[in-house]
Chains A and B, each alone.
Chain A
Amino acid sequence: MSKKSWIKRGSFVAVALGLTLGQALADQVSSFGLENGMQVVVIEDHRAPVAVHMVWYKIGAADESPGHSGIAHFLEHLMFQGTKDVAPEQFSKIVAAQGGSDNAFTSPDYTAYFQRVASDRLDLVMRLESDRMHNLNLSQKDVDTERNVILDERTQRTDSDPGALLGEQMAAAQYMNHPYAIPVIGWRHEIEELTRQDALDFYQANYAPNNAILIVAGDVTPQQVLDLAKKHYGPIPPSDKIHDRIRPTEPPQLAERRMVLADARVAQPYVVRNYLAGERNPSDQKEAAALTMLAQLLGGNRATSVLPRALEFDQKVATYTQASYDGVSLDQTTFTLAVVPADGVSLDQVEKAMDAVIDQFLKTGVDAEEFARIKAQVKAEQIYGADNTQGLAHRYGMALSSGLTVQDVQAWPDLLQAVTADEVMIAAKKVLDRRQAVTGWLQTEGAAQ
């Protein structure tokens, strides 16, 4: 019941996508395309005079060439260095001068830029964002300064955080062939060598309307957005350098991997395990839906899920448990379990307890009442989610830049609702395979375990 249309210049086809659940919701989504290949999604919410404007590029850290880790994120920073019309570092100041806010972020699969402004300032932010899509200026001095900022960022967010360091080491062990092994921010020794030319090459190869998705959410109409998008993004020619993203794939993973990171700065030791897991694919999201429900059953509720019930309430060996899975990913992702031991309980003891609970779950199966409660919450989330337009816009942006379609996003809540207990158990038995898992212990240096 939903349809995406590519339109010719001058005509307008917007198809409002209805929801099977909650037809009356403010989630009014239209989708269309510009002639130069730029995809546009509009989410209407007229309750407040606010608009969120986002451009998502289908390029991320996992698309970097070998030896250039961090270039996608480095370029994201450099996109604030100005164009021939906008002086360096002025972009955010111009947005702030209108009372707006802006930011950008880079993931393995996408790089996104967004501004939140009064809806009558949409023209301004589109002018600024479209300008830097094809007019970026980079001086050597600005590149050198910004490289130091990135290195500082790595110091603060990764090197100063033992948990982040463990996560980085675990990803490197998880992916034996796929570039998800490499951290988004980059390895320090490679960041240090990134040049102005590297950034320009990456920019010219990947930043183009036919590699970008425009999402506008808030107090706007599809016609307004179309008119402005044609005015600002329409004149930018498409690039002939944009290719499908084909990345190296994982070979069979045959051996469990384990690691310990000990650091004096660790206040709270924990065990974390990542299992290689399938992702959401276009028109093929059922297994990912089952894995999403599995994560909810194991750890979604702090009192009634399988892991907290057993480890925190009954055995009292843990103070925190987690099961998580996000299927929005271009390639194979991970399903994560984590446990924080109670005072006096070792990491070895708490990991064994966690595995015993998982083994028991695989035998006893899904608690029907808990499953029904989770489905009630999934249904309610469509209603609560409509209250946060920026969150909705983000959800569409992540999905569309990770290979999914508007139809896939629209179908997802119904797919979750349709998951059966049997499908959860089939997915569980497949994913909870230690041969495809990496287990990490974070512990305080010098502490006995």
Chain B
Amino acid sequence: MMVRALALMGALICLALPLRAEVAIQEVTSPGGIKAWLVENHDIPFTALNIRFKGGTSLDAAGKRGAVNLMTALIEEGAGDLDSQAFAAARDGMAAEFGFSSDSDGVSISARFLTDTSAQATDLLHLALTKPRFDSDAIERVRGQVLQNIASSAKDPGTIASDLLSHAAFGDHPYGSSGDGTTASVQALTRDDLLAAYRGALARDRIYVAAAGDISAADLGAMLDKLLGDLPATGAAQPADVVLTAKGDVITQSFPGPQSTISFYQGGITFEDPDYFAATILNEILGGNGFSSRLMDQVREKRGLTYGIDTSLAAYDHATILAGSVATANDKAAEAMQVIRDVWADVAKNGVTQKEIDDTKTYLTGSYPLRFDGNARIASILVGMQMLGLPVTYPATRNAKVEAVTLGDVNRVAASLLTPDELTFVVVGDAVGVAAGN
């Protein structure tokens, strides 16, 4: 049976054309000097616009944890002469859609607007970005929602584990705590705190913009000047880089229920590192999603210890991390942790196989062009590429970078990057036979 299955695969691989993401990106500079990337497509009469302000919740001032998160949620709760409901009515009347969100590295605005109301939509979004009201009743209403989210997170084992991991890895750096803030810190935030967070986070010295859809380069340039031209030139200082702490210890937190949620991590690798693509392939083989990974094979398929296990390589603006997670029955937690440690040590010492690399390359190069379908997806991807400092030619060259990685590269990176002694675990649950400490 296997032989026939493989023959089927082989036949189809031969059919495959060389895969390259074909997306025509224009670099646009507005008359006022704001840079943006654009993919023009006039098939559908709307434009997706993505704006990202670098910094995000990591810009929270000392003692004001949660300020940027609450501020971001309030941008659409009234601006200029419009209170919250009047703003929503104006937006919906022209069927525009605005989304505001924040994470540890940025405040993001994603907008969709119809071609025939793009001027009015630009005016309204400009009002929100430059004249948010922060009305006291809106602050209290949204604060109540944020506090309920924090209370819910406190009963969610996945969030508890991720918060403990962040703190263990990054300590007092903003990456070391939840950007939502704590109940106490959010309760203490004042309107002045939110105004300060707003002035610190939304400034022209940290803007990345991408658009995709029914708009020309000239029209986009004019729109960006109108939209962003009168924001303050500078904002709050960006946080310092942080080196993650990973001592190879075990951090435990009791939680009721039949399962333990286990997170684990060690140091990662920067996107600029010449070995980044080798490390990406290594992570896919170790615990990626595309294929049956080493960890999936050992923890689930061979031993049935879990429903799923995965790892990911994250390069944040100020730190890197290689982290994973798994949920398992309380009495299997100790065994699952030992298997993870063993896989880590084995791959560091013995490396991976050529077949694993070939399979992973096929997956990575095949899936990449599939990302670029739809204006909304393209705008979002293009902003991310700019924040990484990539050129517009990147989509056409990225698969060649993946293909260039050799078995020697991956095994060299496995030996240097994977540090079994520093692999640190967070266990949330009532795991049997798992003790905190080293």
Contacts and interface: CB of A to CB of B under 8 A. Distances in A.
Interface of A: 22, 24-26, 45, 47-50, 82, 84-87, 89-90, 93-94, 96-101, 116-118, 120-121, 123-124, 127, 148-149, 152-153, 155-156, 160, 218, 264-268, 301-304, 309, 312-313, 316, 319-320, 340, 342-343, 369-370, 372-374, 376-377, 379-381, 383-384, 386-389
B307 A384 contact: no
A85 B8 contact: yes
A96 B292 CA distance: 10
B46 A101 contact: no
**Most chain-A Cβ atoms within 10 A of its Cβ — which of B15, B92, B151, B365?**
B92
B63 interface: no
Given A24-B45, A319-B144, A320-B145, 15 more contacts: A49-B369, A85-B5, A85-B8, A86-B1, A97-B13, A97-B363, A265-B257, A267-B151, A302-B88, A304-B85, A313-B85, A319-B148, A343-B144, A380-B46, A387-B376
B15 A123 contact: yes
Interface in B238-258: 256-258
Nearest to B306: A152
Contacts of B92: 301, 304, 373-374, 376-377
A404 B92 CA distance: 30
16 contacts: A24-B43, A25-B44, A26-B43, A98-B362, A99-B367, A100-B367, A117-B370, A155-B258, A218-B373, A301-B92, A312-B141, A319-B141, A369-B89, A374-B92, A383-B44, A388-B374
A319 B5 CA distance: 54
Contact of B114 (A82, A99, A301, A380): A380
Contact of B362 (A49, A99, A116, A374): A99
Nearest to A27: B44
A328 B337 CA distance: 45
Contacts of A26: 43-44
A96 B84 contact: no
A373 B97 contact: no
Interface in B320-371: 327, 359, 362-370
A99 B307 CA distance: 23
B147 interface: yes
Interface stretch (B16-24, B216-224, B271-279, B309-317): B16-24
A343 B256 CA distance: 25
Contacts of B359: 97
Contacts of B77: 303
A126 B122 CA distance: 45
B5 A99 contact: no
A160 B5 contact: no
A205 B116 CA distance: 52
A370 B112 CA distance: 20
Nearest to A120: B17
B33 interface: no
Given A127-B8, A156-B307, A265 B155 contact: yes
B95 interface: yes
A25 B43 CA distance: 7
B136 interface: no
B237 interface: no
B41 interface: yes
B307 A100 contact: no
A389 B15 contact: no
B182 to A, nearest CB: 15
B373 A87 contact: no
A373 B369 contact: no
Contacts of B89: 303-304, 369-370, 373
B4 interface: yes
A118 B370 contact: yes
Nearest to B88: A303
Contacts of A89: 292
A268 B146 CA distance: 12
B369 A48 contact: yes
Given A85-B5, A86-B5, A304-B85, A264 B19 contact: no
B98 interface: no
B375 interface: yes
B93 interface: yes
B32 interface: no
Which of A97, A342, A379, A388: most chain B CB closer than 10 A?
Answer: A97
B2 interface: yes
A184 to B, nearest CB: 18
B84 A313 contact: yes
B400 interface: no
Interface in B368-387: 368-370, 372-376
Interface residues of B, number: 69
Contacts of B2: 87, 90
Contacts of B5: 85-87, 90, 94
Given A25-B44, A26-B43, A387-B376, A85 B114 contact: no
Contact of B9 (A97, A100, A376): A97
B8 to A, nearest CB: 7
Given A93-B291, A99-B363, A383-B44, A268 B148 contact: yes
A101 B327 CA distance: 23
B307 A153 contact: yes
Please list the 5 inter-chain residue pairs (A to B) with the smallest Cβ-Cβ separation, ordered nearest first.
Answer: A99-B366, A380-B95, A303-B88, A48-B373, A99-B367
Contact of B155 (A85, A267, A372): A267
Nearest to A155: B258
A100 B144 contact: no
A117 B366 CA distance: 8
B288 to A, nearest CB: 10
B254 to A, nearest CB: 14
B152 interface: yes
B12 to A, nearest CB: 5
B295 interface: no
A342 B369 contact: no
A376 B94 contact: yes
B373 A47 contact: yes
A118 B376 contact: no
A384 B46 contact: yes
Given A99-B365, A319-B148, A384-B112, A124 B12 contact: yes
B307 A152 contact: yes
Interface string B62-84: 00000000000000010000001
Given A84-B1, A265-B155, A98 B141 contact: no
B290 to A, nearest CB: 5
A387 B93 CA distance: 21
Contact of A376 (B16, B95, B362, B363): B95
A386 B405 CA distance: 38
A311 to B, nearest CB: 11
A97 B154 contact: no
B48 interface: yes
Contacts of B290: 96
Given A97-B9, A98-B16, A99-B19, A384 B43 contact: no
A155 B84 CA distance: 41
Contacts of A84: 1, 4
